Amino acid sequence: MTQDQIGPAPHPVPPVVGRRSPQPSVPAPGREPRPGLVRRLLDHPALILPRDFTLFLVGARTDAAIERTRAAHGARAAFEAAYTRSSDPWASATPRYRYQQRKYEQIMALLPDRQRFRSALDLGCGLGLLSQHLAGRCDAVLGIDVAAAALCHARTRAAGIPNLRFEQGDLLHLPTELDGRFDLVVVADTLYYLSPLGDDLLKALSARIADLLAPGGLCLLANHFFFTADADSRRSRRIHDAFAWSHRFSVRSEHRRAFFLATLLDRRDDACL
């Protein structure tokens, strides 16, 4: 019997005899039983288990392969090849690694409490794992990725989620029909793959993403961040700074987590376009 099944307990629990009253087996309404200290420590979002570090090695191997293929065949072919070689190139959905799942939960927790979104866009959605989380907070979610192979996996994984759909597209060439259609745009671990990632491109990108948002819309950026001396982390810092300095956005909050950086930005409606 699984935990979710309802029915009699397989072994009846003997009554507790003695002076101390037994713990009620059913918590009082509104009072969940508090997990033990060890469980709470293990569930702490900042805890990274040693095995989670192998996840970063898997990612580094994928990134190296993408670099090699990109040099010979271009960026899109490189991402297609990554998702053809593996159904989970960054081991984001592999249950043995908890880091990535927690990261999605932490990213979702950065969204304003209780706010529900009408229409969200997940740019560079990959397997659509974050898109699935978004589907719980949004009336409709669109995931866009440059790799058709990624979307094949994403659609299979999201079968049965009616408010989530995926389309193939390059975030550098998004159709203008999408403009103003979203009250939330999320871009996670995607922008640092753009190459060359110069200041002009970042400026154009922040303006393009602002165009996608409806007035009052929010943009949430999340990018891996180890420590300032690391070259990749410096690229993430540069991306977040470019959006923060854009006259199209104002920073609502910035968050350093193990091991990523997240910035929540408001589309500025007073900006002179």
Q: How far is the CB of 224 from ligand SAM (least distance, A)?
A: 9
By CB under 6 A, is residue 171 in contact with ligand SAM?
yes
By CB under 6 A, is residue 206 in contact with ligand SAM?
no
By CB under 6 A, is residue 264 in contact with ligand SAM?
no
By CB under 6 A, is residue 52 in contact with ligand SAM?
no
By CB under 6 A, is residue 143 in contact with ligand SAM?
no
By CB under 6 A, is residue 130 in contact with ligand SAM?
yes
By CB under 6 A, is residue 190 in contact with ligand SAM?
yes
* Residue among 147, 164, 209, 261 that touches ligand SAM (CB under 6 A): 147
* Residue among 150, 164, 184, 209 that touches ligand SAM (CB under 6 A): 150
Rg (CA), the chain: 22
Measured CA to CA, the distance from residue 260 to residue 238 in angstroms comes to 13
Per-residue b or e along 144-153, where b marks 16 or more CB atoms closer than 10 Å to that residue's CB: bbbbebbbbb
CB-nearer residue toward ligand SAM: 82 or 210: 82
Size of the site for ligand SAM (CB under 6 A): 19
Contact residues: ligand SAM, CB under 6 A? 79, 90, 92, 124-126, 129-130, 145-147, 150, 170-172, 188-190, 193
